[in-house]
Amino acid sequence: MERSLEIASVPENLRIVEKLIDDISAKHEFESDMYGKVLVAFVEAVNNSIVHGNKSDPDKKVKVKVRSADNKLYITVEDEGPGFNYDNIPDPTAPENIENINGRGVFLMNHLSDEVKFHKNGSMVELIFNLV
């Protein structure tokens, strides 16, 4: 299975991503725990691309690709931004960062996905989930 889509960088388009997750969940018969992990991590990745990568510019696109192979689900999300230093993100659970509103998306992706890889200087993230 492979699906791709391209959306304009507006928050309303997160609904399109949620629909894609529903379709994937039905195809793979996700249990509620897996559905929740994929939903939150995937939506966070797309939201980060919209808000941080593309600065909510509706003329910029977010490209999404989802494929399953070898009992794994691979999700890539790419924006048109310059990327970011993904190795230097403060821990949002540290006491000094607890009130900061930024930094939670990458934290959630790392904790909900089985593997997270950044490509293209951080303008592309790959989320990997084990399906078995």
Reading the block at residue 103, the tokens are 């930094």
Torsion on CA atoms 77, 131, 17, 14, rounded to nearest 10 = -80
Q: What is the predicted pLDDT for the residue at 86?
A: 85
47 CB neighbour count, 10 Å cutoff: 18
Residue 104: the pLDDT is 83
Cα torsion angle, 27, 29, 34, 37, sign: positive
At 127, which amino acid appears? L
The pLDDT value recorded for residue 87 is 84
Answer with the residue of higher pLDDT: 43 or 89.
43
* DSSP category for residue 90: -
**Residue 48, domain CATH:** 3.30.565.10
Number of domains observed in the structure of the chain? 1
Q: What are the pLDDT digits (tens) for 92-129?
A: 778 887 777 777 889 999 999 999 999 999 999 999 99
Residue range of the domain that includes 76: 2-130
